[in-house]
């Protein structure tokens, strides 16, 4: 009798993450929004082991929108050699401590899975022409779509009563990056990858309605790109 219940418990433990993963793939294929343009403003989607970031071109409007990052945390968004703004949203406990696989702790994973505050991370990169960046996909947006994307990302930063973003007092990973408090909470149903999809749909691009994993984001990119 005990053995039967143990097998059932193990089966449930295996089925739950499998069901979550498959639901994410299904959510990636159920899309809303407009078709992707084949030309326009180039934006990067940078895939890590469990997380996607945006790469935004540092035009004058983007530099102005994110000038606070230089003022508050020294992110070199106005450096003459800066070409790309790296920006992402994630779990505070996980995102601020896991710069690599070796940094991942069980406590941070548990906190992210069960519910956590969110943070934004911002960095600046130079010219990537001729470089092979693992996990980097380029997409195109119309100028109006890019303006909406930039605005949506900026609105993901929590603000103080004066309307200023609130930096987090933790060290970054590259010497040029910084963290800020994000808007909204993080959990298994509202992950960093779900945020990516929400920003793209908010900009007007066709994208999966629920993309909780990087695999789901990748599938939605594949399904919707021209």
Q: Higher model confidence: residue 108 or residue 166?
A: 166
- pLDDT at residue 12 in the model: 52
192-203 and 143-154 helices, crossing angle to 10°:
140
Average pLDDT for 76-92: 96
User: Sorting pLDDT into bands at 50, 70 and 90, what band is 143?
Assistant: very high
Structural domain range at position 174:
34-224
Domain count, the chain: 1
Q: β-strand 41-47 against 52-57: which pairing, if any?
A: antiparallel
Residue 179: inside a domain:
yes
DSSP 165: B
Residue 1: inside a domain:
no
- pLDDT at residue 50 in the model: 84
- pLDDT at residue 95 in the model: 78
Residue 29: inside a domain:
no
Residue 14: inside a domain:
no
- pLDDT at residue 108 in the model: 53
Is residue 101 scored above 50 in pLDDT? no
Residue 12: inside a domain:
no
Residue 218: inside a domain:
yes
Is residue 14 scored above 90 in pLDDT? no
Average pLDDT for 69-78: 97
Is residue 7 scored above 60 in pLDDT? no
φ, ψ at 171 (rounded to 5°): -75, 150
Residue 7: inside a domain:
no
Residue 88: inside a domain:
yes
Determine which of 112-121, 194-203, 208-217 has the lowest per-residue pLDDT on average. Answer: 112-121
Is residue 102 scored above 80 in pLDDT? no
Residues 16-62 pLDDT 10s: 678 877 888 899 998 888 899 999 999 999 998 888 999 999 999 99
Per residue, the 3-state secondary structure of the chain, as one string, reads CHHHHHHHHHHHHHHHHHHHHHHHHHHHHCEECECCCCCCEEEEEEECCCCEEEEEECCHHHHHHCHHHHHHHCCCCCCCCCCEEEEEEEEHHHHCCCCCHHHCCHHHHHHHHHCEEEEEEEEEECCCCCCCCCCEEEEEECHHHHHHHHHHHHCCECECCCCCECECCCCCCCCCCEEEEEEEEEECCECHHHHHHHHHHHHCECEECCCCCHHHHHHHHHHHCC
Q: Report the C-alpha gap between 213 and 191 in whole angstroms.
A: 8
Q: What is the pTM of this model?
A: 0.89
């Amino acid at each position: 009798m005990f053995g039967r219940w143990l097998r059932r418990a193990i089966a449930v433990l295996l089925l739950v993450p499998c069901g979550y993963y498959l639901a994410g793939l299904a959510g990636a294929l159920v899309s809303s929004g407009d078709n992707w343009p084949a030309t326009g403003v180039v934006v990067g989607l940078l895939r890590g082991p469990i997380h996607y970031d945006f790469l935004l071109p540092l035009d004058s409007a983007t530099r102005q929108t994110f000038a606070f990052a230089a003022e508050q945390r020294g992110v070199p968004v106005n450096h003459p050699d800066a070409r790309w703004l790296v920006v992402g949203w994630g779990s505070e406990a996980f995102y601020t401590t896991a710069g690599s696989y070796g940094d991942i702790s069980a406590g941070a994973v548990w906190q992210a899975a069960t519910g956590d505050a969110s943070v934004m991370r911002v960095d600046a990169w130079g010219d990537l022409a001729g470089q092979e960046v693992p996990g980097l996909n380029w997409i195109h947006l119309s100028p109006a779509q890019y303006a909406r994307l930039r605005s949506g990302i900026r609105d993901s930063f929590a603000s103080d009563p004066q309307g200023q973003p609130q930096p987090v007092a933790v060290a970054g990973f590259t010497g040029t990056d910084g963290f800020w408090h994000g808007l909204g909470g993080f959990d298994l149903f509202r992950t960093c990858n779900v945020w990516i999809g929400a920003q793209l749909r908010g900009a007007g691009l066709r994208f999966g309605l629920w993309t909780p994993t990087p695999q789901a984001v990748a599938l939605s990119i594949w399904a919707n790109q021209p």
